């Protein structure tokens, strides 16, 4: 028996033992490390111990078409023998840039990177280069990757008074906090007050749909007006919402155009690829010949514009452009929402459905969820049990969100509904 064959015959427990020996915390730092996924196909994934799940995690968002979509696979297989990466321009990357610029309102030009966190980091740097100002206003609970700025008040345990930032990670220099202002999401008055008090703000960065929290009426429009009034750039972090809420992203869906946006997940079709985009005037800071050494923003990456990721993203976007794709996705999402809220309401369990039909979750509270501090489970043990029973019945999701995909079938919906009924019964029995 070869070493490779032996590896494939190891049990889930053996894989976990190996992981704990070589990985901090026994995992990659992402999802539950006890779940070791062997493979996925369509709407399903299988773990190394043979368990099968309907996948509502979908790689944290990129697998909007499901796993192993045959047309995406065909495009990738066609590209592989032509070259996997070049560290140079290639036609497929240029085609993808063109497709993004055609689809996304704020993008006249884009620059590719390998991850959403990189895209957000460069977006902040670009805003500082363009405006000549340093401070960044972000919203408490907003996720913008792993840079030092992004790790300010992402998930603060200590709730300090606004606008004081709270670092969420060790190893961040104290000086980073001096350049960050924190406001509550959906509070336009708070943002306006900070803008009036500080004349050195380069940009506001915001998830148009913050994690799962939708913007209240007028909030995004108000941010756009504030930025115009104070000559500040508006950055939409569309790593999650780009090509999910609509083909043109959240800026199309909500009708508000930012100055800069970041994109990821779906545009790589399951491969590592992200981008930031803006007007040609703003993006000129990536071109030393146009702006000179002092205003040039250096950016390079070994896998930027990778052709395999580019063809996967191009094919994914082509499929999403087909008539009815987003109606189908929203129909699936609405069915998943209604089966949960109907069952919980019938059982008399206090809850809020928070999010969009394309991305949402159940929060066990009787209070409206409008920002980071209000979007909390009043009884966290209910959420833990609910998700635990769903998994026991073959439904895999993040503890904090559910991603519908176009691969979900009627059989999947029926199984999910049965799992929801079992989870609700468990909550009733627990109370």
ω into 171 cis (within 30 of 0): no
280/310 Cα distance (integer angstroms): 22
* Residues in a beta bridge with 44: 41, 54
Q: Which residues are catalytic?
A: 143, 237, 265
In the DSSP assignment, the letter for residue 267 is G
Query: What does residue 417 show for φ and ψ, rounded to 5 degrees?
Result: -60, -40
Provide the H-helix boundaries in 234-324. Answer: 250-254, 280-283, 288-291, 307-320
Contacts of 110 (CB under 8 A, 6+ apart): 97, 100, 101, 263, 275, 276, 277, 283
Going across the sheet that includes 37-41, the strands are 37-41, 44-47, 52-55, 395-396
The C-alpha atoms of residue 317 and residue 309 are separated, in whole angstroms, by 12
3 Cβ contact list (under 8 Å, min separation 6): none
* Token pair recorded at residue 88: 């140079």
């Amino acid at each position: 028996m070869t070493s490779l064959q032996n590896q494939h015959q190891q049990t889930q427990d053996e894989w976990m033992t190996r992981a704990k020996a070589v990985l901090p915390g026994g995992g990659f730092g992402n999802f539950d490390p006890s779940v070791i996924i062997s493979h996925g196909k369509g709407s399903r994934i299988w773990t190394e111990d043979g368990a099968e799940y309907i996948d509502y995690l979908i790689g944290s968002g990129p697998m909007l078409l499901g796993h192993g979509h045959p047309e995406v696979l065909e495009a990738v297989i066609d590209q592989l023998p032509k070259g996997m990466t070049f560290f140079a321009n290639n036609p497929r990357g240029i085609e993808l840039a063109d497709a993004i610029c055609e689809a996304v309102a704020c993008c006249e030009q884009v620059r590719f990177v390998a991850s959403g966190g990189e895209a957000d980091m460069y977006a902040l740097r670009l805003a500082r280069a363009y405006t000549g100002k340093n401070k960044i206003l972000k919203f408490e609970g907003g996720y913008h990757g792993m840079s030092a700025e992004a790790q300010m008040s992402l998930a603060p345990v200590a709730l300090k008074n606004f606008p004081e930032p709270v670092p969420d990670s060790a190893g961040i220099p104290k000086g980073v906090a001096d350049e960050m202002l924190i406001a509550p999401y959906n509070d336009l008055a708070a943002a306006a007050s900070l803008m009036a008090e500080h004349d050195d703000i380069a940009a506001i960065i915001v998830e148009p749909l913050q994690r799962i929290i939708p913007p209240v009426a007028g909030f995004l429009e108000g941010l756009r007006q504030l930025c115009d009034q104070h000559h500040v750039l508006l950055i939409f972090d569309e790593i999650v919402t780009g090509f999910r809420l609509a083909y043109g992203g959240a800026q199309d869906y909500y009708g508000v155009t930012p100055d800069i946006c970041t994109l990821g997940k779906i545009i790589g079709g399951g491969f590592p690829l992200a981008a930031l985009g803006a007007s040609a005037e703003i993006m000129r800071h990536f071109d030393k010949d146009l702006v000179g050494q002092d205003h040039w923003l250096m950016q390079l990456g070994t896998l930027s514009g990778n052709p395999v990721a580019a063809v996967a993203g191009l094919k994914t976007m082509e499929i999403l452009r087909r008539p009815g794709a987003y109606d189908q996705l929203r129909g699936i999402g609405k069915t998943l929402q209604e089966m949960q809220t109907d069952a919980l309401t019938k059982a008399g369990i206090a809850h809020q459905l928070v999010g969009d039909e394309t991305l949402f979750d159940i929060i066990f509270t009787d209070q409206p969820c409008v920002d980071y501090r209000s979007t909390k489970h009043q009884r966290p043990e209910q959420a833990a049990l609910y998700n635990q029973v769903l998994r026991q019945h073959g439904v895999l999701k993040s503890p904090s969100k559910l991603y519908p995909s176009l691969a979900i079938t009627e059989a999947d919906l029926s199984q999910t509904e049965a799992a929801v009924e079992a989870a609700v019964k468990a909550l009733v029995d627990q109370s």
